[in-house]
Amino acid sequence: MQVTDIRQKKTELRKQYKSLRDSIPKDEKCFIDKKIIRKITQLWSYREEELLLTYVSIGSEVDTKELIQYALNDGKKVAAPRCVENTRDMDFYLIKSLDDLELGSFGVMEPIKERCEKLEDFSKGVCIVPALAFDKRGYRLGYGKGYYDKFLGNFGGRIIGVCYSFCMCDELPHGRFDKQVSSIVTEKRIIPSN
């Protein structure tokens, strides 16, 4: 019964936070996104790592395209996810530019398999993860598909969540497979979690 309660509560929270995020005026969103990206690039974990794994943003998500370009200009290896058909798995592929992406699953830009090298070593690096919301302990409210939860269970590097400050809350419902992020970056601050 508790699992059903968590799922129902998460569904309600997803609608709430998506609506909040969708309501940001475009100019304000662009300004806030730039502040978040600047904070990420100032993190010790970003500066010290040679590998950045990051989602490619769509819609009202924190825009990562500038971060991708910044990391490539910094000489970092950048990998983006590609969903594996008929599974809840995703593979990461190294990209050399935003031109290495094509429209894929769920309307998300994904690496072109034939053009990009599949990443095999997940023992280190920094992974930027999307979410509709985070709580102060580092638990995330994802989109409900389970791709990142499954992937993060095997990732050995630092996990950084990004979201808008108004998408932070004290506590989110979470299950045993939910993994906490190492820190959360908003436009206002960097929050260490676990």
Residue 61: per-residue pLDDT: 95
Strongest mean pLDDT among 69-73, 136-140, 190-194:
69-73
In the chain, the domains with their CATH numbers are 2-192 (3.40.50.10420)
Within 8 A by CB and 6+ apart from 168, the residues are 133, 134, 135, 136, 184, 186, 191
For the chain, what is the mean pLDDT? Answer: 92
Q: What is the pLDDT of residue 2?
A: 47
Tell me the Ramachandran region of residue 116: left when phi exceeds 0, alpha when psi lies from -120 to 50, beta otherwise. Answer: beta
Confidence class of residue 1 from pLDDT cuts 50, 70 and 90?
Answer: very low
pLDDT tens, position by position, 19-29? 999 999 999 99
Query: Mean pLDDT over residues 162-172, rounded?
Result: 94
Predicted pLDDT at 194: 57
Torsion of CA 17, 18, 19, 20, to 10 degrees: 50
pLDDT higher than 80, residue 131: yes
- Stronger pLDDT, 87 or 121, i.e. the higher one: 121
- The pLDDT tens digits of the residues spanning 78-109 come to 999 999 988 888 999 999 999 999 998 778 99
| pTM summary value | 0.91
Which comes out higher in pLDDT, residue 120 or 8?
120
